[in-house]
Every structure is written in structure tokens, then in C-alpha cells.
């Protein structure tokens, strides 16, 4: 039997947001939430696996906008303030839950400990620049780092403007080279958007492989013998890896994937919207603009506001 393999590719991208003319800017929370709830915990897991000598290999695509924002000293300082502010909220939540909602105490403690660890990792381990963590994991052979279009543009929309396509690819490669010291071999196509001929631009800039949607294989006018279960090589030698449709549905679908599984945590129910303004006001945006705080205690339980408490131990099983 021939050897089977699967490639895990994670794509890190957010729009560029930097508005220092405001003391706090709501859309900057997109970055801060991602760093606090995804990037830093993910790096901890990668480091833990490496330290325990558990073999693994993944690919991580990092967009130019992410590179620019996480290395910006002003945004680094604002993220540190975000963590400190939420740590203070976490300490209050542990006290509140212990006396008023004990069913949420375990999660409140979990969130507080995660915020404390995020502060330690961000300031002491990465010295404010989380890309150092990815560089270390790449150097040890556990991650392959690649990039995507400079502004994550959906490239097929611009195929009539080759200079725009070239700019998206060239600027992305330059940003990656400046940040990581080498040209990436792979390229994440935003929204898996491909059009015939795009591989020529990618090859010109040193890219040897990219990923596409499974439909690019399954609906191709050219016969593809193995459907979306095997990569193909373009006439110019660049390889195209199809994204598995079933696995994608499990990750993304809110009707058949884990986003609708009642075992998991409800993302959209947050104390930033639930608790009284006199309690939560300091931790959301002025004037009285409610936002996510990251403290979420409920499980996915249908489309109404009637939810059951989230059971982390059950989800971990």
C-alpha cells in the first residue's frame, strides 16, 4: 500500500489597522484578540510538542499585514495594555464567579491563567515580537513558513491587471524576505482563488507550490485522475495542492462542522454584551460600545440566547 500523507496549512491574516490618533481603536482588537486567543496559545502548543520531542511538521502562512502589525512598536505596546486590562478583568471575574456564578468559575480561572501566561510569553520570551517564536520553530524544522498576497487580495478579480497581480506577489515576497531572511517556497492563494496563468507569476518570484480549492481540481476541464486527493504539477513545474473539501467543511461549516457542535464553546456569547455597564464599562470601548472581552462561558446550543454552560473537559475529550 502506498504511503498516504496530509498537509496542515494555517493561514494568518488580518486587515491592516493602526490608528494611533485614538487612545483605543476598536478594530485593533481584531489583532489583539487573534494574538491573545490564537497566536500565543498556538505557539505554546508548538513549543510544548517540540520540547517533549513529539515529531510534527506544519506549514504556516503569514501575511504582510500581520508581519507589519506585530512588529510595530506602538501596536506592541497597545497589545501589552490590552493584556493587562483583560488580566485585571480576569481577576474580577474569578471573584464574581466564585460568589455569584460558580458554574463559570473554572473557565474564569482558565482565562485568567491564559492571560498571565500570554503576558509572560509576549514580554519575556518573545520580547514583544511573536514572529521570533515562528522563526525559532522554522529553524528547528517544525514549521515551514510561507506567505500570501500582500493585502490578501482575491487575485482572480485582478487578472486583467497583471501589474496589480505582480505587485501583490512581489511585495509579499519582499516583506517575507525582510522579516525572515529568505524567500518562501510556498504561497497561500487568498480564498484559494486561482486562475490559469497565475502560476507563471508565482514561479517568476521563486514560488514552487501553492494551494487551491478542491473545486479547481474537481471541476477542471482537464481530467484529474485522483480528484482532490493528490497535488498536480502545472506545465511550468509549480505544484498545486488541493484543499480537502470534507476537512474544510468540518472546520468552517456552521451546519455540519464543529462550529455547530454543541460540545464546543459559543464564540458570540461574551460577557462584554451580557454584564451590566457599570461593571464591564472599563473593559469595552467608549462611549459605551460593547465588544468581545474574550470571557465566554457558554456552549453552542442553537441560534437563540438560551445556552448551557460550556464544559471544557467535555470538549477536550
Instruction: Write out pLDDT tens, residues 48-94.
Output: 999 999 999 999 999 999 999 999 999 999 999 999 999 999 999 99
The three cell numbers of residue 302 are: 442553537
Q: Which CATH architecture has domain 9-71+129-252?
A: Alpha-Beta Barrel (3.20)
The pTM of the full predicted model, rounded to 2 decimals, is: 0.93
**Collapsing DSSP states into helix, strand and coil, what is residue 55?**
coil
- How far does CA 14 lie from the centroid of its chain? 8
- Cα dihedral 174, 73, 284, 123, rounded to 10, equals 110
What's the pLDDT at 71? 98
What's the pLDDT at 246? 84
The three cell numbers of residue 197 are: 496563468
What's the pLDDT at 158? 98
* Span 138-195, pLDDT tens digits: 999 999 999 999 999 999 999 999 999 999 999 999 999 999 999 999 999 999 999 9
Q: What's the alpha-carbon Rg for the chain, to the nearest Å?
A: 22
What's the pLDDT at 140? 98
Task: Find the range with the poorest average confidence among 23-27, 104-108, 112-116.
Answer: 23-27
What's the pLDDT at 287? 65
pLDDT at 228 over 90: no
What's the pLDDT at 3? 73
- Per-residue confidence at 248, pLDDT binned at 50, 70, 90? confident
Q: How many contiguous H segments (helices) and E segments (strands) does the chain have?
A: 13, 7
Give yes or no for a contact between 87 and 118, defined as CB atoms under 8 angstroms apart. no
Task: Find the range with the poorest average confidence among 105-119, 141-155, 235-249.
Answer: 235-249
Dihedral pair phi/psi, residue 8, rounded to 5° = -100, 120
Give yes or no for a contact between 48 and 83, defined as CB atoms under 8 angstroms apart. no
pLDDT at 2 over 70: no
Mean per-residue pLDDT over the chain, rounded: 93
Give yes or no for a contact between 186 and 144, defined as CB atoms under 8 angstroms apart. yes
- Per-residue confidence at 1, pLDDT binned at 50, 70, 90? very low
**271: which residues sit within 8 A by CB, 6+ positions away?**
93, 280, 293, 295, 296, 297
Mean pLDDT of 35-45: 98
The three cell numbers of residue 151 are: 493585502
Angstrom distance (rounded) from CA 53 to CA 45: 12
- Per-residue confidence at 130, pLDDT binned at 50, 70, 90? very high
- Per-residue confidence at 5, pLDDT binned at 50, 70, 90? confident
Share of the chain above pLDDT 90, in %: 79
Amino acid at each position: 500500500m502506498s504511503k498516504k500523507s496530509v498537509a496542515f496549512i494555517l493561514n494568518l491574516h488580518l486587515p491592516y489597522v493602526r490608528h494611533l490618533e485614538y487612545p483605543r481603536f476598536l478594530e485593533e482588537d481584531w489583532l489583539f484578540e487573534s494574538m491573545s486567543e490564537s497566536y500565543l496559545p498556538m505557539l505554546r502548543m508548538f513549543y510544548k510538542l517540540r520540547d517533549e520531542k513529539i515529531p510534527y511538521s506544519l506549514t504556516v502562512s503569514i501575511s504582510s499585514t500581520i508581519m507589519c502589525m506585530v512588529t510595530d512598536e506602538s501596536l506592541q505596546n497597545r497589545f501589552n495594555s490590552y493584556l493587562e486590562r483583560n488580566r485585571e478583568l480576569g481577576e474580577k471575574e474569578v471573584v464574581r464567579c466564585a460568589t455569584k456564578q460558580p458554574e463559570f468559575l473554572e473557565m474564569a480561572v482558565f482565562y485568567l491563567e491564559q492571560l498571565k501566561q500570554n503576558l509572560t510569553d509576549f514580554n519575556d520570551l518573545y520580547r514583544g515580537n511573536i514572529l521570533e517564536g515562528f522563526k525559532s520553530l522554522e529553524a528547528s524544522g517544525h514549521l515551514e513558513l510561507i506567505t500570501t498576497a500582500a493585502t490578501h487580495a482575491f487575485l482572480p478579480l485582478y487578472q486583467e491587471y497583471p501589474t496589480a497581480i505582480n505587485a501583490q506577489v512581489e511585495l509579499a515576497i519582499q516583506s517575507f524576505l525582510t522579516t525572515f531572511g529568505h524567500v518562501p517556497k510556498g504561497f497561500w492563494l487568498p480564498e484559494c482563488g486561482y486562475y490559469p496563468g497565475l502560476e507563471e507569476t508565482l514561479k517568476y518570484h521563486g514560488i514552487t507550490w501553492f494551494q487551491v480549492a478542491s473545486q479547481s481540481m474537481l471541476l477542471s476541464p482537464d481530467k484529474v485522475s485522483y480528484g482532490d486527493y493528490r497535488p498536480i504539477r502545472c506545465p511550468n513545474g509549480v505544484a498545486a495542492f488541493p484543499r480537502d473539501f470534507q476537512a474544510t467543511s468540518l472546520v468552517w461549516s456552521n451546519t455540519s462542522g464543529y462550529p455547530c457542535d454543541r460540545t464546543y464553546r459559543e464564540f458570540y456569547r461574551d460577557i462584554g454584551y451580557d454584564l451590566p455597564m457599570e461593571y464591564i464599562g472599563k473593559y469595552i470601548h467608549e462611549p459605551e460600545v460593547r465588544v468581545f472581552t474574550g470571557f465566554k462561558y457558554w456552549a453552542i446550543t442553537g441560534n437563540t440566547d438560551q445556552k448551557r454552560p460550556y464544559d471544557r473537559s467535555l470538549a477536550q475529550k
